[in-house]
Structure 1
């Protein structure tokens, strides 16, 4: 059967709809993806999110900068934001500190180098609060 289309012009009947092709997902796609990066809306270039273990210390620069501790690999899971003079030394101290806890608050680490780490960390905390409505759990003072 044909029906009336636009402005009363008859159109031929269409056949059955063809299914859309489904993209096949291989087992290795999760391993091939790069680690997620934190996007705060500022001009900082954050490193990929690293597990909080001593084996990743060489991937952290030893420059001044801002770092975030995360409980999971999502931006909303940031538990602490701070500025430091030496990112690698702080990474190693966080690894040691969280290694001693039975239930660590943080499992991941991300950082960005900046010449003014303490001012930038305060700015990042304000941006985080504006985006998510709360300050990171360990920055709250409780």
Structure 2
């Protein structure tokens, strides 16, 4: 008997909906049953729909697909992942095929100040008199 139920991604990383994901993250997913390697693909896009460049590999022994970005992911950006693949009967991935995650805020460059930061203290208007406050 052939299992014609949709394939499921039973392990996904980064976890769906996660935040503060490292810019160096590698995307992985494990299929619920073996798939035909030539049908496996991973597409990662940023919040503007721009594809993230990278390489995809599939390990048939573990049924795991891995996507390694060519460069670190942009920081504080929501990314979407779509995984496709079909088993020998032609059955594809069901609703678990797409998920998203958000990368962590990038660290500030050494010696830089946060935006809108002022080093000059401002006194309330009521203190601006000819005599200093007590």
Q: Which has the higher contact order (CA 8 A, sep 6+)?
A: 2
TM-score, length basis structure 1: 0.23
Higher percent of residues as strand: 2
Which of the two has greater helix per residue? Answer: 1
